[in-house]
Amino acid sequence: MLFQKVSAQDDLLALVGKDKPKKERVKYAFKSPRVINSHSMEFLNPGTMDIRILHRFGPLDQGYKNFYGFDQANMRMGVDMGLFHNLMIGVGRSNVNKEVDGFIKFAPVRQSTGPGSFPITVAVIAGMTWNTSPWDNPSRKNFYTSKLAYYFQAILGRKFSEGFSLQFSSILVHNNLVPVHTWSNDIYALGVGARIKLTKRVAITGDYFYNFNGLEENVNYNPLSVGFDIETGGHVFQLHFSNAVGMNERALINETTNSWAKKQIRFGFNLSRVFQVKKKRG
């Protein structure tokens, strides 16, 4: 009888342990590590590879003579890799300026629920771009370092509900070489990104950056992009409209020369395909 009582107590204690709340990461604030152009607060799972194709057509305002932008296209192809739940890397190449870019992205804390949880995700990104196009004046003494640029970005984001996520980010872009000596080598900008879920597989997304310096009047503008995410199995297909041509951080912040107010808007799409290349870890 005594043995049965002790055994029953042990069973009850085991059940209590199983019901104890656990700390869990909040997932899918965004369905991709990118909002549209900018990095999102989301990370790839460890051992997951994301092949991304970004496609941006010409301005719609040129009308039929440019077939509403479809006669012109810019593209970036990239490969991102999740190393840990809070660490990922990526590389890519754009046809504009034949530019190669790479980044590392780390989250010291991620939004979570349960004991010891944290209400937001904090992520930092460091990246570099390299313009590989030929020099305009190859006869002079040129340095490959002149075509390098760097960016540093910090993101604060939160998934408020299954239907709404919001993030803010600050970014510094450093250009080793600028076209005019009076221009600053360092450009500062503040960004915002959001996702609003419409259905199980469709969401509205958008990102915007406000440049604090480096904008030349009637030449450069703040980049704004709005689009729709459509989930189809292992793919995330995104249709969007943007005034930006560049699809890496340097080009996005430095070289957005179209304006929404002037109806200089470009249609584009992003295609993301995720592969599990290594066994999942907990």
Q: Of 44, 30, 27, give the one whose Cα is nearest residue 164.
A: 30
The larger pLDDT score, comparing residue 214 to residue 9, is at 214
Q: Name the token pair of 247.
A: 């699809």
Q: What is the pLDDT of residue 13?
A: 53
Q: Give CA angle at 19 (14, 24), nearest 5°.
A: 130
> Mean per-residue pLDDT for 263-282?
83
pLDDT in tens, 139-191: 677 777 889 999 999 999 999 999 999 999 999 999 998 877 777 899 999 99
In terms of pLDDT, which residue wins out, 21 or 86? 86
Helix residue spans in 163-275 (DSSP H): 249-254
Place of tokens 């199980």: 200
> What is the pLDDT, as a whole number, of residue 143?
79
Structure confidence at residue 84 (pLDDT): 95
Q: What is the pLDDT of residues 78-109, one digit of tens each?
A: 999 999 999 999 999 999 889 999 999 999 99
The predicted pLDDT at position 6 comes to 47
Q: If pLDDT is split at 50, 70 and 90, which confidence band does 3 have?
A: very low
pLDDT (average), residues 252-259: 90
Distance, CA of 136 to CA of 133 (rounded, Å): 9
Best CA proximity match to 187, nearest among 133, 243, 137, 246: 246
Tell me the residue ranges of DSSP E strands in the chain.
Answer: 24-25, 48-59, 73-84, 87-94, 99-109, 112-113, 121-131, 148-161, 164-175, 186-197, 202-211, 224-232, 235-242, 266-276
Going by C-alpha positions, the residue among 102, 54, 27, 70 that lies closest to residue 273 is 54
Asked if residue 155 lies in contact with residue 125, where contact means CB atoms within 8 angstroms, the answer is yes
Question: Is pLDDT of 123 > 90?
Answer: yes
Instruction: Report whether 88 contacts 44 (CB < 8 A).
Output: yes
Residue 25 has pLDDT above 60, yes or no: yes
CA-based radius of gyration for the chain: 23
Strand pairing of 186-197 and 164-175?
A: antiparallel
Yes or no: is domain 31-276 CATH 2.40.160.40?
Answer: yes
pLDDT value of position 19: 62
Distance, C-alpha 217 to centroid of its chain: 27
Q: Would you kindly state where each structural domain of the chain is located, as residue ranges? A: 31-276
Identify the residue whose tokens are 């980010």.
169
Instruction: Indicate whether 4 pLDDT > 60.
Output: no
- Read off the tokens for 76: 């970036």
Kindly state the average pLDDT of the residues 14-38: 81
